[in-house]
């Protein structure tokens, strides 16, 4: 069971950084885990300027091994070591993640103060982390790359009416959720007494770098949050697709076909400075109204 689901955009640029945008990294804060999707160069400093503690990161999912998506890993790991981290860090990614991460982390002189677990995922693999799952979707990019879908597990919906009926407080409901039951005034109450249905788990999908991908549409149906790359505007679409990228217009089409609730565009090319980025926004909004161009340090609380 997860209560908090907070998304923090740490870097919303693509290819190389600009004064306005850092390189790709998105943090998702859950109750017991803090996850990074991609760790572009400069991510550790972005973390220090955000509401997320760099020492609290538990898992990192790398979409692919183009420099803009992973070159921040070594710096972050070395800073964690200098701050005497002891907790394990888990790193997940596509094919060749073990060799890429091992080589990269072996640069320079330092001794790790904590264990690192590295795991390569297969295409369309789902890893179960207890309260939530993460699924890898093969992206359309020149190197082996993933989109990722984080899904909170469905849970029983608590009815206020039933709580009132049995005079149960929220603290007592917490006890039921943790221990399975509670004994109050000689009566035993379980989840069945206070639940009136299922609450669907929240889902967040992050495209990573990709040309428009039909599989992603199928996999993201009706999700709450889609974070999709939008490297360029529609005039450069053909070239972008050739290199395994999407335009803002195409990202909006993907969101519209998947019927997601909200679309956040990221991986914005450094050619779009503050004023020009509006072109991307208007092209996307004409197709999918609930589109927002993500900015560095933007935070979203994903509501139940
Ligand atoms: Zn990229
Ligand atoms: Zn790439």
* Ligand 2 mean position, distance from CA 282 (Å): 25
Are 98 and 112 within one domain? yes
Are 62 and 96 within one domain? yes
* Ligand 2 mean position, distance from CA 101 (Å): 16
Are 225 and 255 within one domain? yes
Are 107 and 160 within one domain? no
Q: What average pLDDT score do residues 176-202 get?
A: 91
Are 161 and 150 within one domain? no
According to the model, what pLDDT value does residue 101 have? 98
Are 211 and 235 within one domain? yes
Collapsing DSSP to helix, strand or coil, 169 comes out as: coil
pLDDT 10s digits, 274-303: 889 999 999 999 999 999 999 999 999 998
**Among the three residues 197, 230, 257, which one is the final residue of a domain in this structure?**
197
Structure tokens given for 144: 């082996």
According to the model, what pLDDT value does residue 193 have? 92
Are 175 and 192 within one domain? yes
Q: Which domain holds residue 190?
A: 156-197
| DSSP per position, 26-38 | EEEE-SS-EEEE-
At 292, which CATH number?
3.60.15.10
User: Does any domain span residue 268?
Assistant: yes
Q: Does the pLDDT at position 110 exceed 90? A: yes
Of the pLDDT bands very low, low, confident and very high (cuts 50, 70, 90), residue 1 is: low
Which residues have CB less than 5 Å away from ligand 2 (the ion)?
66, 209
Give the CA dihedral 230, 141, 12, 297, nearest 10 degrees.
120
| DSSP per position, 181-244 | EEEETTEEEEHHHHEEEEEPPPEEEE--S-S--HHHHHHTTT-SEEEEE--B-GGGHHHHHHTT
pLDDT 10s digits, 131-157: 999 999 999 999 999 999 999 999 888
Q: pTM for the full model?
A: 0.93
The single residue of 31, 33, 38, 68 carrying the catalytic annotation is: 68
Are 247 and 165 within one domain? no
215-252 b/e (C-beta count within 10 Å ≥ 16 → b): ebbebbeebbbbbbbbbbbeeebeebbeebbbbbbbbb
Matching residue, tokens 């990722």: 148
103-115 b/e (C-beta count within 10 Å ≥ 16 → b): eebeeeeeeeeee
Which residues have CB less than 5 Å away from ligand 1 (the ion)?
14, 68, 209
User: Does any domain span residue 1?
Assistant: no
Q: Is 131 assigned a catalytic role?
A: no
How many structural domains does the chain have? 2
pLDDT 10s digits, 233-272: 999 999 999 999 999 999 999 999 999 999 999 999 999 9
pLDDT 10s digits, 71-90: 999 999 999 999 999 999 99
According to the model, what pLDDT value does residue 51 have? 96
Are 273 and 125 within one domain? yes
Are 39 and 175 within one domain? no
Structure tokens given for 215: 């599989």
* Ligand 1 mean position, distance from CA 69 (Å): 6
Of the pLDDT bands very low, low, confident and very high (cuts 50, 70, 90), residue 188 is: very high
Q: Which ligand is nearest to the CA of 144?
A: 2
Are 204 and 259 within one domain? yes
Collapsing DSSP to helix, strand or coil, 173 comes out as: helix
């Amino acid at each position: 069971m997860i209560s908090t689901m907070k998304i923090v955009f740490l870097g919303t640029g693509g290819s190389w950084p600009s004064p306005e945008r850092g390189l790709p990294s998105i943090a998702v804060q859950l109750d017991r885990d803090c996850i990074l999707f991609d760790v572009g160069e400069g991510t550790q400093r972005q973390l220090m300027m955000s509401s997320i503690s760099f020492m609290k990161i538990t898992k990192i999912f790398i979409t692919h091994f183009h420099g803009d998506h992973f070159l921040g890993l070594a710096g972050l790991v070395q800073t964690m070591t200098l701050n005497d981290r002891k907790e394990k860090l888990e790193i997940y990614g596509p094919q060749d993640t073990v060799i890429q991460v091992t080589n990269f982390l072996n640069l320079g002189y330092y001794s790790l103060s904590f264990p690192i677990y590295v795991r390569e995922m297969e295409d369309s693999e789902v890893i179960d982390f207890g309260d939530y799952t993460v699924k890898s979707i093969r992206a359309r990019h020149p190197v082996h790359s993933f989109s990722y879908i984080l899904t909170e597990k469905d849970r029983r919906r608590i009815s206020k009416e039933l709580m009132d009926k049995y005079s149960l407080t929220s603290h007592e409901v917490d006890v039921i959720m943790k221990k399975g039951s509670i004994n109050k005034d000689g009566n035993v109450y379980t989840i069945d007494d206070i639940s009136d249905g299922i609450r669907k788990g929240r889902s967040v999908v992050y495209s990573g770098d990709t040309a428009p991908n039909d599989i992603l549409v199928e996999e993201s149906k009706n999700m709450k949050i889609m974070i999709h790359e939008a490297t360029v505007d529609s005039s450069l679409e053909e070239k972008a697709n050739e290199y395994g990228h999407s335009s803002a217009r195409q990202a909006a089409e993907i969101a519209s076909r998947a019927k997601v609730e909200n679309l956040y565009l990221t991986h914005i090319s450094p050619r779009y400075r503050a004023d020009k980025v509006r072109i991307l926004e208007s092209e996307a909004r004409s197709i999918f109204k609930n589109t927002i161009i993500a900015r560095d340090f933007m935070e979203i609380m994903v509501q139940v």
